[in-house]
Amino acid sequence: MRIYPNKEQSELMSRHFGSTRFVWNYFLAERKQSYLESKKSLSYYDNAQTLVALKKTDEFGWLKDVNSQSLQASVKDLDTAYGRFFKKQAMFPKFKKKGLCIDSFRCPQNAKIVNNKLQIPKFNPIKIKIHREIKGKILFVTISKTQTDKYFAAITCEVEYKPLPKSDKAIGIDLGIKSFAVCSDGIVFENIKTTKKYVKKLTYEQRQLSKKKKGSNNRSKQRKQTALVHEKIRNVRVDNIHKFTKQIVKDNSIIVIENLNVKGMVKNHNLAKAIADASWYETTRQFKYKSDWNDRNLVKIDRFFPSSKTCNVCNFINQNLTLEDREWTCLNCGTIHDRDLNASKNILKQGLKTLSGCGTQSELKQKHGEASVSNQSLRPMMPRQLAAG
Ligand SMILES: [Zn+2]
pLDDT tens across 155-198, in order? 988 877 788 999 999 999 998 777 889 999 999 998 877 777 88
Instruction: Say which of 79, 292, 302, 340 is annotated catalytic.
Output: 340
**Confidence tier at 88 by pLDDT (50, 70, 90):** confident
Measured between alpha carbons, how far is 107 from 346 in angstroms, rounded to an integer? 46
Q: What is the pLDDT of residue 366?
A: 38
- On the question of pLDDT at 89 being above 90, the answer is no
Q: How far is the CA of 312 from the centre of ligand 1 (A)?
A: 7
Instruction: Say which of 79, 174, 292, 302 is annotated catalytic.
Output: 174
- On the question of pLDDT at 87 being above 90, the answer is no
Q: What residues pair up with 328 in beta bridges, in sequence order?
A: 337
The reply to whether 340 belongs to the active site is yes
Chain-centroid distance of CA 148 in Å reads: 20
CB 44 within 8 A of CB 75: yes
The pLDDT of 4-31, averaged and rounded, is: 95
Amino acid at 226: T
Q: What is the pLDDT of residue 63?
A: 93
Q: How far is the CA of 318 from the centre of ligand 1 (A)?
A: 9
Q: What is the pLDDT of residue 362?
A: 44
pLDDT tens across 344-382, in order? 999 999 999 988 876 544 444 333 333 333 333 333 334
pTM of the model: 0.66
Q: What is the pLDDT of residue 6?
A: 95
Q: How far is the CA of 332 from the centre of ligand 1 (A)?
A: 5
The pLDDT of 7-12, averaged and rounded, is: 95
Measured between alpha carbons, how far is 152 from 155 in angstroms, rounded to an integer? 9
Q: How far is the CA of 172 from the centre of ligand 1 (A)?
A: 19
**Confidence tier at 269 by pLDDT (50, 70, 90):** low
Strands (E), the chain: 2-4, 103-107, 112-114, 117-119, 126-128, 137-145, 151-160, 170-175, 181-183, 188-189, 254-258, 297-301, 327-329, 336-338, 381-385
Q: How far is the CA of 256 from the centre of ligand 1 (A)?
A: 22
pLDDT tens across 185-238, in order? 999 998 877 777 888 888 898 898 888 888 888 888 888 888 888 888 888 888
Listing DSSP states for 117-165 in one string gives EEE-TTS--EEE---S---SEEEEEEEEE-TTS-EEEEEEEEEE--PPP
Q: What is the pLDDT of residue 389?
A: 32
- On the question of pLDDT at 242 being above 90, the answer is yes
Q: What is the pLDDT of residue 373?
A: 38
Higher-pLDDT residue of 113 and 366 is 113
State the chain's mean pLDDT as an integer: 85
- On the question of pLDDT at 386 being above 50, the answer is no
Instruction: Say which of 103, 205, 258, 292 is annotated catalytic.
Output: 258
Helix (H) or strand (E) holding 68: helix 68-86
Q: How far is the CA of 179 from the centre of ligand 1 (A)?
A: 24
CB 209 within 8 A of CB 223: yes
